[in-house]
């Protein structure tokens, strides 16, 4: 278990990642498809302490390319977890009050079983033989980790984008385990445009000559060109036109005059190239295929009747957040979630937050966003503990 070993204002300090096997051959993970996976190892980190009543646990559900390292650092204080601005003493997820858990997703590549893990039958990485899974399967693994940590009921599950989908699904699958849910810039059903973006990204990976039908692990080569292009294109959708204009405009990289060639010339081109290349150091191409595909198929409310059935016993209180410049999952996606919850008597609060940063706003220290989460969780904690 990761615990803070140094203190600094607002920081959980030095942390570590723990791995645990939650499913094995005797008790495998049974997926919605009926396929089984064993063993299933999960990488996770925790921050803060679980209180005596177990009433202060908050589960972080990460997005497509996230991992378990959400806060603190692993030895270099200049490189902190991806949600370090939200988690720590005095921050919205105040680790002096809350016990915060973050786990790498099933199908991931940062310590949790996925396509790059060894298949016990062959001893070789699964590759594309790893079974497809659903958001409910992701939550099934999260729930097993919560039980392993002695948590019977979460104060909250929170996440952005794919993480928000998990928080919503958790409330549907096991509302008795979840006091509140906070989906941020999420969607209950991807639009055709969103599916198209992901389809092109996957094509870039699978058409890379080094993809080798997903069995590139033993070849000494990887589909790095395809994966970097997929990341570059996706990153464009995470930003807003306004934000890109303010950050880059039409400024030239390394000079004042354009070179009138096909090489990288504009600062925005250099930035995207950096994003694509740096991504290769931490992510697996097959995990990108699987985790982007799980988002495409997510559709918990295919019609009003199914929504009513699935939400009949849900009393989890929701805070649904969107950002006004997010065009990947714009506010209409959040409003549709809110309408469905209200129509089925599920308590929900909704806020659209102003931010110039587009979809990536959920990762950044947007003041109104942080204040809203902090206030919502303080009220939930008072309701749960009477404090």
> Annotated catalytic sites, by residue?
161, 326, 359
Distance CA 179, CA 316 (A): 5
Distance CA 265, CA 38 (A): 49
Task: Say if CB 296 and CB 198 are below 8 A apart.
Answer: yes
Q: Is the dihedral of CA 369, 375, 378, 382 positive or negative?
A: negative
Phi, psi of 147 (to 5 degrees): -65, -40
- Supply 303's token pair: 């019609």
Tracing tokens 């909250």 back to the chain, one arrives at: 156
CA distances from 333 to 143, 150, 194, 351 (A): 26, 34, 11, 13
Task: Say if CB 204 and CB 224 are below 8 A apart.
Answer: no
**What DSSP line would sit under 240-256, residue for residue?**
-HHHHHHHTTTPBTTSS
Phi, psi of 10 (to 5 degrees): 80, 5
Residue of 150, 269, 285 whose CA lies nearest to 207: 285
Q: Is the dihedral of CA 17, 144, 283, 61 positive or negative?
A: negative
- Supply 24's token pair: 């094995």
Angle in degrees, 0-180, between the axes of helices 285-297 and 162-173, rounded to the nearest 10: 50
H-assigned helices in 131-263: 135-148, 162-173, 192-206, 224-238, 241-247
Task: Say if CB 109 and CB 101 are below 8 A apart.
Answer: no
């Amino acid at each position: 278990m990761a615990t803070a070993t140094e203190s600094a204002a607002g920081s959980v300090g030095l942390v570590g990642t723990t791995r645990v096997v939650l499913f094995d051959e005797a008790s495998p993970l049974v997926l919605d498809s009926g396929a089984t996976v064993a063993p299933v190892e999960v990488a996770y980190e925790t921050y803060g302490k679980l209180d005596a009543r177990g009433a202060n646990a908050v589960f972080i559900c990460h997005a497509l390319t996230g991992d378990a390292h959400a806060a603190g650092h692993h030895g270099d204080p200049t490189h902190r977890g991806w949600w370090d601005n939200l988690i720590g003493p005095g921050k919205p997820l105040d680790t002096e009050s809350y016990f915060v858990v973050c786990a790498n997703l099933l199908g991931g590549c940062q310590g949790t079983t996925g396509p790059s893990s060894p298949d016990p039958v062959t001893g070789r990485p699964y590759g594309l033989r790893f079974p497809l899974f659903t958001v409910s399967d992701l939550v099934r693994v999260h729930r097993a980790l919560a039980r392993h940590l002695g948590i019977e009921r979460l104060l909250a599950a929170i996440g952005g984008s794919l993480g928000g989908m998990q928080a919503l699904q958790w409330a549907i699958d096991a509302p008795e385990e979840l006091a509140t849910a906070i989906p941020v810039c999420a969607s209950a059903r991807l639009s055709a445009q969103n599916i198209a973006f992901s389809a092109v990204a996957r094509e870039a990976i699978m058409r890379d000559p080094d993809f080798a039908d997903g069995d590139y692990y033993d070849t000494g080569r990887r589909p790095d060109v395809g994966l970097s292009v997929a990341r570059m294109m996706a990153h464009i959708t995470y930003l807003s036109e306004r934000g890109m204009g303010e950050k880059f405009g039409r400024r030239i990289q390394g000079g004042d005059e354009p070179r009138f060639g096909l090489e990288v010339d504009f600062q925005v081109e250099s930035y995207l190239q950096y994003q694509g290349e740096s991504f290769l150091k931490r992510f697996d191409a097959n995990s990108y295929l699987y985790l982007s595909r799980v988002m495409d198929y997510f559709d918990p409310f295919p019609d009003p009747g199914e929504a009513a059935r699935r939400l009949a016993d849900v009393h989890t209180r929701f805070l649904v957040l969107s950002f006004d410049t997010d065009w990947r999952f714009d506010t209409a996606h959040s409003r549709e979630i809110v309408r469905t919850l209200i129509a089925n008597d599920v308590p929900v609060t909704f806020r659209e937050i102003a931010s110039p940063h587009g979809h990536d706003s959920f990762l950044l220290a947007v003041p109104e966003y942080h204040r809203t989460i902090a206030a919502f969780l303080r009220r939930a904690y008072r309701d749960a503990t009477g404090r």
